[in-house]
Amino acid sequence: MGQATPATQLAMRTFILDTGPLVAYLDEADPFHSSVAACFGDVSGMLCSTSAVITEAMHLLEDDRDGPRRLAELTAAAEVHIFESTQPNHLFAAAALMAKYSNVPMDFADATLVLLGDEIGVNEIITLDRRGFSTYRTAKGRSFSVTPKR
């Protein structure tokens, strides 16, 4: 993704990025690798995620000696906008969402993405968690549009 000018940023689609696609893209043995790679090839726009998602992906990729470095390279090359998600106000809001969706369930990284969607006004998400993000709603009641489609 190239540099966007302020005018093109306004017209550019924005996608929220979850942990699963990051890990699947970097792990060729992952059963979702091909579909995620195709999805990333089709996506044109800005990618946004949270520090919680990056932390989770780093942890899941730690068994691959080069996994964490490759994740850092991917986020830099794709110019992923990473939003802070661990300040006290974020933690309280995430904990409330996790309690609300405990039957789904919702983990901390997912909660931060729902909060991010509300904050930046985006409901398009690249995730493998179809069940969760088909259920979750933002504080404004918006549902999520899940990519990749199956």
- Rounded Cα distance between 31 and 44, Å, is 24
Name residue, tokens 């970097």: 26
Please name which of 140, 54, 51 lies closest in space to residue 87, comparing C-alpha atoms. 51
Evaluate the omega torsion of the peptide bond into residue 21 and state whether it is cis, within 30 degrees of 0. no
**What's this model's pTM, rounded to 2 decimal places?**
0.90
| Strands across the sheet containing 46-50 | 81-83, 46-50, 14-17, 124-126, 145-147
78, 126 Cβ separation under 8 angstroms? no
Helix or strand or coil: residue 46? strand
pLDDT in tens, 30-71: 999 999 999 998 888 999 999 999 999 999 999 999 999 999
Task: Give the model's pLDDT for residue 44.
Answer: 87
Greater model confidence, 112 or 3: 112
Instruction: Output DSSP code: residue 143.
Output: P
pLDDT confidence tier of residue 7, bands split at 50, 70 and 90: very low
**Dist. CA 51–CA 75, nearest whole Å:** 12
Would you state the CATH architecture of domain 6-147?
3-Layer(aba) Sandwich (3.40)
Residue 5 has pLDDT above 60, yes or no: no
